[in-house]
Amino acid sequence: MSAIYAGPLCPSCNAPLDAATLHAGVMNCPNCRKQFEATPFQPRERHHQAVQVVTETPDGIAAACANHERNAAVTSCTRCGLFICALCDMNVGEGSYCPSCFDRMRDQSTVDSGATRYRDYATMSISAAAISLLCPFLPIGPFAVFWGLKGVRQRRAEGSGIAGPVIAMILGSLETLALLVGVTLFIIGLVAQGKS
């Protein structure tokens, strides 16, 4: 996704396409003349209807939006309690949030449906298991197990296969076990040597 993305472009040369010239079927880009098959759509324009009359009560002006003083608040932020109008309401199916709380929660990945960046624990677990196989003396097995558990949970939520993280967890457990046995034998050996 480009930061300067501003609508339909030619898929070959990325030149902007005029919406009026778009038609269904085979098209030629007016810039690069390359051919492509297109299906244009006309998405509905979004209109947010903010209630612009803030009612006056005997106590004064009530329930005005904290960001838009002329708009009436329709709800309050679930996180900070700020009164917000329909324009500010960031409802992603988990409650209404004000824009600043929503940004904060998205950065902290605490709002699931708004998360756009997260860790791939399954791949982390597989890599840890592979490293633990190559370098058995490094205590990486527990990490493979820990990340594997998180990876299985993540893959299940996505509906993807869990074979990779499960194998990584088994390998990680075996490596941890082998490491523990090795360390124990080493300590026993040291003690036995000390006694003799």
What is d(CA 184, CA 188) in angstroms, rounded to the nearest whole number?
6
Using CB under 8 A as the binding rule, whether residue 137 contacts other proteins is answered as: no
Task: Give the distance, in angstroms, between the CA of residue 129 and the centroid of all CA atoms in the same chain.
Answer: 25
Smallest Cα–Cα separation from 125: which of 159, 91, 162, 156? 162
User: Beta strands 96-97 and 90-91: pairing type?
Assistant: antiparallel
Using CB under 8 A as the binding rule, whether residue 94 contacts other proteins is answered as: no
What is d(CA 123, CA 6) in angstroms, rounded to the nearest whole number?
34
| Shortest separation between residue 55's beta carbon and other proteins, angstroms | 27
What is d(CA 122, CA 107) in angstroms, rounded to the nearest whole number?
22
| Shortest separation between residue 7's beta carbon and other proteins, angstroms | 6
| Shortest separation between residue 39's beta carbon and other proteins, angstroms | 5
Among 4, 53, 157, 192, binds other proteins (CB under 8 A): 157
How many residues at the interface with other proteins, by CB under 8 A? 35
Q: Which residues bind other proteins (CB under 8 A)?
A: 1, 5, 7-9, 11-12, 17, 19, 22, 34-44, 112, 115-120, 123-124, 127, 157-160
